[in-house]
Structure 1
Amino acid sequence: MLAEAAHLIALALSGAYTILAFYAVLPEWPLPLILCLGLWCHRQQYWLRNDRIHNTLPAKSYPHTDVLLGMDWFFAMLHALRTYAVLDMWNEMFTSIGQTFWNQSIGQWVLLTNEPENVKAMLSTNFEDWELGFSRKKLTQLAIGEENLFALNGEEWKRARHDVKGIFRRGEIRDLQGVEAHVENLLTRIAMEGDKVDLQKLMYLFGMDASTEFIFGYSTDTLLHSTVSTDDFARSLDYSLEAAAFRARLGSIAFLKPDPRFEEAVKTTRAFADDFINRAMLNRHSHYQGEKDQMFLQDVLGDGKSRSYARDQMLSMIIAGRDTTASVGSSLLWMLARRPDVVSKIRAEIMVLEGTRPSWEDLKGLRYLNMVIKEGKLYEPQQLQRN
């Protein structure tokens, strides 16, 4: 029996564990058990081979109390999310266990790292070797759509990225008039809030208003003049992303917790975007030279692209524009409130404008302000790029 078991493991390690081979060697053993053993052996061989190639040691593992499914990690993360202590939890884990370690959550093993050289390899030096995993793809596909930019890899990602470049026409980026209106709305809303203001919340509203106008040509205007339709869209988008993240954490047991509200939020979000797609399709074959939302949508709908593809890219860009603006802006304002010396230097530099409305070139010429913004971005959670 031991000889037969050793022969089975040898077959697994060589990759020759076919059903026929299993039956021929040990026909009396349960096939599922044999398959699991063979797959486990093959996986171990894969990681050991990689360790040898890169001259590394195996990563440490989180000290699970539930070694079977890792439910202890899942509930610990859930508690951290509910108590707004996720950052503290991550910091404690990386400090106590190490900068790179394995953890298991609901049966799925994940390798976590905050080692700078590892991050550099993923984002720069070995960029082409990495792609989005199943969980990350599923999260965005549930909330945004199957073909959204954040769920694509390889050539599909490159094609989608090329399609959305139409948003960033240089002339439109340099046009500050639309952005200025939303800045004025933000300042007005801050004044309306009174002595204590939650700037992070207002920065998200500002990001939503600015990004929807930039992409749709029509702002949600949530800061001052929201409507039932725009409020529903904003709330539905937020909830769909939050619920999708939770369902992704549940993994294979997500079906045990149905969420009708999530399904309704996704429908509302997509219906809002569909209104603009319908308008673009009506003018698709005309000589219409209209607003920038029409021009962008015409680009994305070109070359036989489907409505769902266009909608997925629109929603991707709205989320990217809103979350990036809100994250960087909130972080920067938090830091400036604690650095009056930096604020004084920014004000001194701005004085050269002598109260005039700045142009794009004027803003680029404010070197200290630009460096402050770039340094502030270092504190923003960075998103992984995709190849």
Structure 2
Amino acid sequence: MDPLVIQTVAATQADNFGSAPSNRKPAGPLLGDGASTTDGHIWKRSRELLQPVFSRSQVSQLSGLESHLQRFLERIPRDGSTIDIQPLAQELFLDSSMEFIFGKSSGSLSPSEQTAEAKQFSEDFDEGLRGMRNNYMTDKFSWLVGPDKKWLAQCAKIHVTLNGYIDEEVRFQKQSKLPGASSKITYGSSGYQHVLLKELVSKYPDDKTLTRNELMNVFFAARDPIGTITSNMLFLLARSPESWGKLREEVAAIAPEQELTFEFLKSLKYVQAVIDEPLRLIHPVDRAWRTCLSTCILPRGGGNSVNDPILLQPGDQIKLIYGCMHKDKDIWGDDASKSNPDRMVRLKHSWKFIPFSGGRRTCPAQQDTYTDMAYFLVRMVQEFKTIRNRDDCLEYVEEYVMTKSSRNGVKVAFLAKYGSLVIGNL
């Protein structure tokens, strides 16, 4: 995939391309109109609504993640026993994303504390995603099979649950404004300063559909990818003792009194490189579809050499496959398919590496994801001396639903770090 073509579609000529024609029909019944399914002024409004939640002040606040991380660590054997870390990582970030978006955790890391409602919502959403995937697979032939009534009923069931969350928050905010009540909204036990549900209800108390659509679009984007990215990172680290050793050196240099803030975590060069390498090699969402909205010319892609300009007409679709570009030997060298975090230490920002897309549709949660993963990685290195692979299959075998994950899981073993460990101010 040509970086110049991606830059043209995503930035230089972004007005000529849209996401809605490819996404609204297969995803709309579940997600509604939001950042993932719309273009134009509706998309712009969605982006503006999300900014407070993904602001720098938000990503600087990590106490919410730490509480879930403690439960995650309790589930990991410290004696070298084998564990599949992939489902645990997904549960960790399911819990934190639920709290981040709805103000309440799903409790999946603590089954004894998980409510029946939270468990049912998670199961319902999984079923909704499977139906949405089928829509994308049938695509232009969907008229042959007709509407999936069972899936549409599942979407309605999910919407009823979210409507209940919204109604509860509307009542709470109205009560907080009654005479004698505190004028400041209390955020309960959540470790997050900005909760999306509360932000949306505060701005649009009478528009339940808008609030639900935004919640669905953000939850869809946040639910699985970061957990999968994290487990992919551990997949590579378990197969590279040298990389783990370099991580230990960088983390060991952190002063005990150093707080793990957004700014500090961003300064840890090797930590950031270890995050970037799985984003390059095995990103769970490594492509995007765009539809041409008006006649335009792409700088390359035509002719026998595919280096000539190419004319696009309204309705033409283009698939942006970042994953191919991220493993292109002409860009990354002959070892492009091998994991080597050192290459990412020297990386300069360009359109050759865009794990969170680029241009105005860059994922608004990009910095939030980097911060959470860096925090997770530092804490894991502080807790454990080593990580070892426990899978006979060394290669990454893909399994795809709406995101790409490891079909074999991520079977690893950890040895606890005893004695001299000093954990900084959290």
CA contact (8 A) 1:216 1:293 kept: no
Task: Kindly provide the amino acid, as one letter, of the partner of residue 26 in structure 2.
Answer: L
Counterpart Cα distance in 1 of 2:138 and 2:147: 11
* Aligned equivalent of 1:223, options 109, 124, 142: 109
Query: Aligned ranges for residues 53-202 of structure 1 at < 5 Å?
Result: 114-145=1-32, 147-191=33-77, 195-202=81-88
* Secondary structure class of the residue paired with 1:239: helix
* Aligned equivalent of 2:124, options 236, 243, 265: 236
Counterpart Cα distance in 1 of 2:65 and 2:195: 19
User: More deviation in 321-330 or 214-223?
Assistant: 321-330
What's the counterpart of residue 299 of structure 1? 199
Higher percent of residues as helix? 1
Kindly state the Cα deviation for residue 298 of structure 1 after the two structures are TM-superposed.
4.5
Counterpart Cα distance in 1 of 2:212 and 2:186: 19
Query: Aligned ranges for residues 350-361 of structure 1 at < 5 Å?
Result: 350-353=251-254, 358-360=259-261, 361=263
Counterpart Cα distance in 2 of 1:294 and 1:350: 29
CA contact (8 A) 2:95 2:108 kept: yes
Kindly state the Cα deviation for residue 281 of structure 1 after the two structures are TM-superposed.
1.4
Aligned in 2, Cα 1:352/1:320: closer, same or farther, shift over 3 Å?
Answer: same
* Aligned equivalent of 1:204, options 62, 79, 90: 90
What's the counterpart of residue 311 of structure 1? 212
Aligned in 2, Cα 1:219/1:278: closer, same or farther, shift over 3 Å?
Answer: same
Aligned in 2, Cα 1:262/1:196: closer, same or farther, shift over 3 Å?
Answer: farther
CA contact (8 A) 2:19 2:39 kept: yes
Kindly state the Cα deviation for residue 267 of structure 1 after the two structures are TM-superposed.
2.9
Kindly state the Cα deviation for residue 336 of structure 1 after the two structures are TM-superposed.
1.3
Task: Kindly provide the amino acid, as one letter, of the partner of residue 46 in structure 2.
Answer: A
Aligned in 2, Cα 1:120/1:205: closer, same or farther, shift over 3 Å?
Answer: same
Instruction: Find out whether 1:376 has 2:265 as its counterpart.
Output: no
User: Which is bigger in relative contact order (C-alpha 8 A, separation at least 6)?
Assistant: 2
Counterpart Cα distance in 1 of 2:278 and 2:15: 28
Aligned in 2, Cα 1:150/1:193: closer, same or farther, shift over 3 Å?
Answer: farther
* Aligned equivalent of 1:322, options 217, 223, 227: 223
Counterpart Cα distance in 1 of 2:126 and 2:120: 10
Report % sequence identity.
23
How big is the alpha-carbon RMSD for the aligned residues of Structure 1 and Structure 2?
2.9
Residues 149-190 of structure 1: CA distance to partner in whole angstroms, max 9, x if unpaired? 200112221111101222224333222111012222222233
What's the counterpart of residue 166 of structure 2? 277
Residues 163-222 of structure 1: CA distance to partner in whole angstroms, max 9, x if unpaired? 122222433322211101222222223339994433332222222111111111110011
What's the counterpart of residue 85 of structure 1? none
Kindly state the Cα deviation for residue 248 of structure 1 after the two structures are TM-superposed.
3.4
Counterpart Cα distance in 1 of 2:131 and 2:67: 32
What's the counterpart of residue 95 of structure 1? none
Task: Kindly provide the amino acid, as one letter, of the partner of residue 28 in structure 2.
Answer: Q
What's the counterpart of residue 265 of structure 2? 363
Kindly state the Cα deviation for residue 372 of structure 1 after the two structures are TM-superposed.
2.2
Higher percent of residues as strand? 2
* Secondary structure class of the residue paired with 1:374: helix
Kindly state the Cα deviation for residue 290 of structure 1 after the two structures are TM-superposed.
1.8
Kindly state the Cα deviation for residue 343 of structure 1 after the two structures are TM-superposed.
0.9
User: More deviation in 155-164 or 201-210?
Assistant: 201-210
User: TM-score scaled to structure 1, two decimals?
Assistant: 0.62
User: More deviation in 163-172 or 152-161?
Assistant: 163-172
Counterpart Cα distance in 1 of 2:218 and 2:148: 26
Kindly state the Cα deviation for residue 374 of structure 1 after the two structures are TM-superposed.
2.8
Instruction: Find out whether 1:340 has 2:236 as its counterpart.
Output: no
Kindly state the Cα deviation for residue 245 of structure 1 after the two structures are TM-superposed.
1.8
Aligned in 2, Cα 1:304/1:272: closer, same or farther, shift over 3 Å?
Answer: closer
CA contact (8 A) 1:248 1:254 kept: no
CA contact (8 A) 1:233 1:268 kept: no
Counterpart Cα distance in 2 of 1:221 and 1:298: 20
Residues 296-349 of structure 1: CA distance to partner in whole angstroms, max 9, x if unpaired? 334324257621111111122122222331232122112212221111111111
Residues 86-134 of structure 1: CA distance to partner in whole angstroms, max 9, x if unpaired? xxxxxxxxxxxxxxxxxxxxxxxxxxxx444433322333333211153
* Aligned equivalent of 1:245, options 115, 133, 136: 133
What's the counterpart of residue 111 of structure 1? none
* Secondary structure class of the residue paired with 1:190: coil
CA contact (8 A) 1:121 1:127 kept: yes
Counterpart Cα distance in 1 of 2:52 and 2:93: 19
Choose 1 or 2 for highest CA Rg: 1
Aligned in 2, Cα 1:172/1:117: closer, same or farther, shift over 3 Å?
Answer: closer
Counterpart Cα distance in 2 of 1:342 and 1:127: 39
User: More deviation in 259-268 or 130-139?
Assistant: 259-268
Aligned in 2, Cα 1:284/1:150: closer, same or farther, shift over 3 Å?
Answer: same
Aligned in 2, Cα 1:298/1:152: closer, same or farther, shift over 3 Å?
Answer: same
Counterpart Cα distance in 2 of 1:170 and 1:136: 29
Aligned in 2, Cα 1:205/1:193: closer, same or farther, shift over 3 Å?
Answer: farther
CA contact (8 A) 2:95 2:105 kept: yes
CA contact (8 A) 2:52 2:194 kept: no
